[in-house]
Amino acid sequence: MAYFSLFLSALLAATLLPAQSEGLLAALILEGSYFFWGLILVASVGNTLGSVVNWWLGYHLQRFQDRRWFPFSRGSIEKAGERLRRYGLWSLLLSWVPVIGDPITLVAGFLRVRFWVFLGLVALAKTARYLVIGLPIYSWG
């Protein structure tokens, strides 16, 4: 149940919903009853899949951009697109950063960034983040 809770927490944390998973990861590592690398894997996969949800939403939301109810202005989309183009696909390595990471993944879908490139860069960033958080706790715990 702990692995599933961590997976769900990590998945939700990577969407546009306000959630976080680092505290649960830290608590499970400190508890010492769970396989460290399993926790890192579950958190990384969940968080990456949450970003995939954002990419998918961005990919499919593009067709609604001219509708009155659409939540983003054309100017804000163009501005986000310019930033992604200026900094390149490598900006997806910032997908782990709170506040800006989730919109980056949404814009990547909106701009039709190739899925496999997106997935590789985001998975790398998300896994590195959980390792930076988890390894010190694991080695000190």
**CA 36 – CA 8 distance, rounded (Å):** 17
Query: What pLDDT is attached to residue 18?
Result: 81
Provide the residue ranges of all domains of the chain, joining segments of one domain with +. Answer: 2-140
Q: What is the pTM of this model?
A: 0.88
**CA 40 – CA 128 distance, rounded (Å):** 10
Q: Has residue 120 got a pLDDT over 90?
A: yes
Q: Tell me what percent of the residues of the chain surpass a pLDDT of 70.
A: 95
Cα–Cα distances in Å, from 41 out to 1, 14, 56, 116? 15, 15, 22, 19
| pLDDT tens digits for range 78-114 | 777 787 888 889 999 999 998 888 888 988 998 899 9
**CA 114 – CA 10 distance, rounded (Å):** 23
